Amino acid sequence: MSRLWPIPLPAAQQAPLSWRLPVPEARPHRVWLSPPHLAGGEMAALQATLESGWVAPAGPVPAAFEAAIAEATGLPHVVAVASGTAALHLGFRCLDLEPGDEVWTSTLTFVASIAPAVQMGARPRFLDVCPQSWTLDPNLLADALAKAGRSGKLPRAVVPVDLYGQCSDLLTIRGICDRWGVPVLSDSAGGMGAMQRGRHAGVGAQLAAFSFNGNKIITAGGGGALASDDPALIARARHLATQAKEPGPHYQHETTGFSYGLSSVLAAVGLAQLPALEDRVAARRALFEGYRQGLGGLPGLSFMPEPAWGRSSRWLTTVQIDATAFGADRETVRRALAEEGIESRPVWKPLHLQPVFRGAGKSGGQLAARLFEHGLCLPSGSALTAADQARVVGVIRGCCTE
Ligand SMILES: *Cc1c(COP(=O)(O)O)cnc(C)c1O
């Protein structure tokens, strides 16, 4: 493995990607929500991988990517897979989810937190979030588990979610779930670089899923990982991710698996990106401070809080706009930004309000629904320039009529 990776290339061969890829005719100064931010070493990593011939979803490059993820997160056992959603799917399989089982998650999340479980026949229950972090409310979870425990209807798994780079209170949640013997699968897809109680996102769960999709703080150009401190769980996940082949010269199967391996080509991009993680967190946190300075004094505008027990990566800077105090509502601001070629996006629509989950269980109050109604994610790419951030701030300030 060490012989093949890394293979250094002369600097002259490290051509920027833009040399060869067609550049779309973008409108001038289009500002995206969270575009990929190349670290500089991707081309060399790709070239080395292609020259080595190891391009399949196996071999030294995915293995090196897994080791780098283990080092970055502190979770010792990692399997790299094709997406964060694939990692969650494998996680549910490793927890022996069966049709009819309940799976509980925060209602303020992306559909992928629960979609694989629902596709496996699980019944979802959506729990509200807490005001300190906007992530799964541990007190609500404790009450709901006690109630479910008394009636013998405990969920098969609880899925706390790291939201916009902010961790759930995972250790507290794990403690609560341990009392009832319910395993925790952390959706840490948006959690790379975020910390909770001195640990990286995902640490403390039985299983944690990460994403390296194009919009995430670190991207492989697409990809994900499932990680754990339990080697047996990750060995099982790896078996399932590679078609559940039993040992032997012919193909022998005792169960069916998936083709979820991460291509070496993508793993090489991820490997080149990961060393920049701390820089990316610093850049996104600095952007957040810039927004706070530019917008913090406006009436009716407030920012996603950061609890004392965590360090958010500020993957996406997220604000709340109280229309009465601000003089314009969230959608007015979003459309004003769009007219200037600036992408922004409402906070997740809570899953209990999604038509596809009509009739699903719901616990807790209306905080997530309010956060959706008033919440807007602002351009937060780690390569966003000060000039572009000033444009975003200027458009939002211009909407404030109070
Ligand atoms: C991005 C994301 C996912 C899905 O990851 P993919 O790699 O796009 O499949 C799941 N959950 C959350 C919270 C995410 O942000």
Rg (the chain; Cα; Å) = 22
Q: Which domain holds residue 103?
A: 42-276
Domain check: are 256 and 322 in the same one?
Answer: no
| pLDDT in the model for residue 23 | 59
Same domain, 229 and 93: yes
> Is 373 within a domain?
yes
Q: Would the CB of 190 count as within 6 Å of ligand 1?
A: yes
The answer to whether residues 271 and 281 belong to one domain is no
- Any atom of ligand 1 within 6 Å of the Cβ of 165: no
Q: For the domain that residue 270 is a member of, what is the CATH number? A: 3.40.640.10
In a domain, 339, yes or no: yes
Are 357 and 126 in contact, with CB atoms under 8 Å apart?
Answer: yes
Clarify whether residues 271 and 284 are in a common domain. no
Position in ligand 1 atom list of the atom nearest CA 83: 7
Residues of the chain with pLDDT under 50: 1-3, 10, 12
**Cα(117) to centroid(ligand 1), Å:** 14
CA of 190 to the centre of ligand 1 (A): 7
Predicted local confidence at residue 301, as pLDDT:
98
Residues 234 and 353 in one domain: no
Among protein residues, the one whose CA lies closest to atom 15 of ligand 1:
190
Co-location of 227 and 336 in the same domain: no
- 217, 338: one domain: no
Helical pair 170-180 and 138-150, crossing angle rounded to 10 deg? 10
pLDDT of residue 3: 47
DSSP helix/strand/coil, 259: strand
- Predicted pLDDT at 402: 78
Start-to-end CA distance of the chain, whole Å, equals 62
Closest atom of ligand 1 relative to the 113 alpha carbon:
11
Residue among 81, 90, 213, 262 to mutate when testing ligand 1 (max atoms within 8 A of CB): 213
In this prediction, residue 11 carries a pLDDT of 53
* 282 and 269 within one domain: no
Is 112 near ligand 1, meaning CB less than 6 Å away? yes
15 occurs within a structural domain: no
**Are 187 and 239 contained in the same domain?**
yes
Q: Is any atom of ligand 1 closer than 6 Å to the C-beta of 189?
A: yes
Q: Residues 231, 299: one domain?
A: no
Whether 96 is covered by a domain: the verdict is: yes
Q: What is the DSSP string of 109-173?
A: S-GGGTHHHHHTT-EEEEEPBPTTTSSB-HHHHHHHHHHHHHTT---SEEE-B-BTTB---HHHH
196 lines ligand 1 (CB under 6 A): no
Contact 105, 136 (CB under 8 A): yes
Q: Is 113 in the pocket of ligand 1 (CB under 6 A)?
A: yes
Q: Is the CB of 85 under 6 A from ligand 1?
A: yes
Q: Is the pTM of this model over 0.75?
A: yes
What local confidence, expressed as pLDDT, does residue 1 receive? 39
Closest residue to atom 14 of ligand 1, CA basis: 189
Q: Which atom of ligand 1 is nearest to the CA of 112?
A: 10
Calculate how far, in angstroms, residue 189's C-alpha sits from the geometric centre of ligand 1. Answer: 5
Domain count, the chain: 2
